[in-house]
Structure 1
Amino acid sequence: MQDDIVDIARGWLGTPYRHQASLRGAGCDCLGLLRGVWRARYGAEPEPVPAYTPDWSEPEGAERLLVAAARHLRPVRLAEAVPGDVLLFRMRRGAVAKHLGILASTAAGEASFIHAYSGRGVVESPLGAAWAAKIAATFRFP
């Protein structure tokens, strides 16, 4: 069941980065990628997404992404994460979680995740020590 999530996410590889967008092949940001995977798996999105700025939640320190993920996804311990799980990242120490990706592989020394990254679009990146240190939470699709 989780493998289909990775397959769906890989179908978005090469999609350009576009802030607030969620259209495979045309553009998306990291949340737009997750929204697209959700739609492919379940149909309609669970709630409307309000407009947000690139620095969303940072000025107020509000954990909007983390709270929204907890409303619609199931939390799992990082040690129990499997391909298809959602990783939330804090891009700086003490910052709010504002980036996410989908775990694609957990092979020893070859862990990877799929995410939409500014300036790169949707890519599959190694989940090396630098990225792993930024993980704030891990969730599973229901």
Structure 2
Amino acid sequence: MGVAADFYTLFSGKDLFTGEHVPFGWAVLGIIPGVSEARKGANAVGAVADAAKKVHGNSKASTIEQHLYMIQDADGNIKKIGVSGQKLNQNGTSPRANSQLKSGDSATILESSIPGRANALQKEGQAVEGLRKAGHELPDQIRPKI
């Protein structure tokens, strides 16, 4: 089946099994025993390398734009400060903050367009530290632990 598949690729320009486009040069080389397997192996290695390059949005290495938000209870007491890389809603609210609101709570965007997660986490830490020093309890604050 291997040789027939290689000739199919040569004439159609597509891999018989995956349907992916195969450049003409690779298709010509593919009729040489072992070359098409090498091409597929190289594609697999490339896919693994590409996946390894992707950085999770919550990683400090993430360069995704972030925003800093504050959640307050109905009496205006600050419950927590948070960071999110999700895009703001069209009305300017934070989907992440909104998902954490309890009855009577409100969320405020403190800063938007913060470049990178590490920057945003630093700002969050500074805000939490300042609020705690000023006597705020921040009952819903989990991180940073200051």
Higher helix share: 2
Bigger-Rg structure (1/2): 2
**TM-score for the superposition, normalised by structure 2:** 0.24
Tell me: higher relative CO, structure 1 or 2? Use CA pairs within 8 A at least 6 residues apart: 1
